[in-house]
Amino acid sequence: MAAILIAEDEARIASFIDKGLRAAGYATTIVGTGADALGHARTGAFDLMVLDIGLPGMDGYTVLQELRAAGSTTPVIILTARTSGDDVLAGLQGGADDYMRKPFRFDELLARIRLRLRDATLAAPPVLARGDLSLDTRSRRATVGDRVVDLSAREFALAEEFVRHPDQVLSREQLLSRVWGYDFDPASNVVDVYVRYLRGKLGAERIETVRGAGYRLR
């Protein structure tokens, strides 16, 4: 499941986008300031960002500039009430992948999101690797060194999240949303159970517990 960051300070618009994207099967996070947008985007935990230009504190252009300067290739769709040609040009030259003016039709926004996510997926390498762990996302085959490891579909999806975000602490909530695709009871221990399965198959030392925060692939 793709994770989308919604950087929008107008609560009504943010809620409208959030509900639509969740209904379409995406995991979403809403932030309302430029600093929060940049901080969340820099984690690498999101597959795409919908970015409003008129954010308080740090505008969307600055967020985008800082993000691209840091080497991030996360697709960004600018969503703004600014309509001049210069604004559009500034956004695209600044590294935006697409530009939509408010007011907008949600079905058009959804179509553009799907297009950018598809482009990003096609550009991504089919084999993900971290140390001696490799995941072939086409054949769904996992190997550790020369050993092929039999993973269930859910185990593979969890391992893929870790390999795509090496050295990053992933919270239980993030993993639940991205791997299972819907919200569990906060008391559920399903993530811990599947991490234990992965440790048994990939090596106990490979996935580190970060107390009070989540898990990290070492």
| CA–CA gap between residue 197 and residue 191 (Å, rounded) | 10
14, 4 Cβ separation under 8 angstroms: no
DSSP per-residue codes, the chain: --EEEEE-S-HHHHHHHHHHHHHTT-EEEEE-SHHHHHHHHHTT--SEEEEES--SSS-HHHHHHHHHHTT----EEEEES---HHHHHHHHHTT-SEEEESS--HHHHHHHHHHHHHHHHHHS-SEEEETTEEEETTTTEEEETTEEE---HHHHHHHHHHHHSTT--B-HHHHIIIII-SPPPTT--HHHHHHHHHHHHH-TTTEEEETTTEEEE-
What is this structure's pTM?
0.63
CA distance 98 to 95: 9
In tens, the pLDDT along 104-128 reads 899 999 999 998 888 766 655 678 8
Over its C-alpha atoms, the chain yields an Rg (Å, rounded) of 18
- Note the pLDDT tens digit of each residue in 30-57: 999 999 999 999 887 788 999 998 899 9
Domains detected in the chain = 3-123 (3.40.50.2300), 127-217 (1.10.10.10)
Q: What is the mean pLDDT of each run of 10 residues along the chain (218 residues)?
A: 90 94 90 94 88 91 88 86 64 77 90 85 72 85 91 89 86 80 65 93 92 90
